[in-house]
Amino acid sequence: MSVARARLLIACPDGRGIIAAVAGFIAEHQGNVLDADQHTDPEHGEFFMRAEIELNGFDLTCETFDAAWTPLADSLDMRWRMNWGTRKKRMAILVSRESHCLHDLLWRWKTGELDVDVPFVASNHADWRGDVEALGIPFHYLPVTPESKPQQEAELSRLLEADAVDFVVLARYMQILSPSFVERYPERIINIHHSFLPAFAGRRPYHQAFARGVKIIGATSHFATDVLDDGPIIAQATLEVGHWDTVDDMIRKGRDLERVVLARAVRLHAQDKILVSGHKTVVFE
């Protein structure tokens, strides 16, 4: 039987007694810690913690928690957030013409593997409208040119706000989002790309890698920032290749990696298992 639980995430300067203070606070309010992970970064002197709290018997609510918790959090200079588990996170998907990541995410959503809601899919091409709408998900066709980019992003922002979207997934969305757009959604845009960057940046990376005889290919999922493909990394995977692999083989294998790595990043984010520290992430699995 599932137990109602909240998730508390903490980042603060490291020091003695933090775990005891957090556990003591939860116990003082009749809470039960169902799961806890912590990590200390000795290089930067930072402490990170994720705790799942059983809500049955916990005498604080979303209305009363902040006032009770804030004195302790302020005394330890904490950055923190609390997810009460009252609703699923709402995930919008952006896609262009390559659909392997889109279809994989939708399959995982439909089977319940990804515990999220999908309010809409948007694309600068209309190719996948039928596939998306067949699942009962709204599809928004938002064509874009260099001249119309500000208007297109303004409409996308309007859709995200209107549907109360929590985070956005770039499922091979082959458009560079403007810095002003990305800044509105810090740590809320998840991207996927091949791991050849920066060695094989630009167009046709698999062809470049094939020509150089690489022995490993990979995929990387990260939070988008205003610097292209430079955000904090969430998940990665690699696969060995060899002289017997053609360009088509490498593209096929690369797509498989991209699907798995993006899905993993989405699952981690949906479960509040990622904390960002500067240019790095702490991922609790």
Length of the chain: 285
Query: Scanning the structure block, which residue is given the tokens 């990979």?
Result: 218
Q: Report angle CA 264, 10, 259 to the nearest 5 degrees.
A: 10
Q: Please say whether the beta carbons of 188 and 144 come within 8 A.
A: no
In angstroms, how far apart are the furthest CA atoms of the chain?
A: 63
Strands (E), 46-109: 46-54, 79-83, 89-95
Which amino acid type is present at position 82? M
For helices 18-28 and 65-75, angle between their N-to-C axes, nearest 10 degrees: 160
Q: Is position 127 annotated as part of the catalytic site?
A: no
**Choice among 37, 163, 229, 249 that is catalytic:** 229
Instruction: Identify the helix (H) or strand (E) that includes residue 219.
Output: strand 216-223
Of 168, 177, 42, 40, nearest to 94 (Cα)?
168
Query: Scanning the structure block, which residue is given the tokens 């989002």?
Result: 177
CA distance 121 to 49: 33
CA distance 195 to 235: 11
Residues whose CB is less than 8 angstroms from the CB of residue 126 and which lie 6 or more positions away in sequence, other chains included: 141
Q: Report angle CA 122, 124, 129 to the nearest 5 degrees.
A: 55
State residue 154 phi and psi, 5-degree precision.
-65, -40
- As annotated, the active-site residues are 229
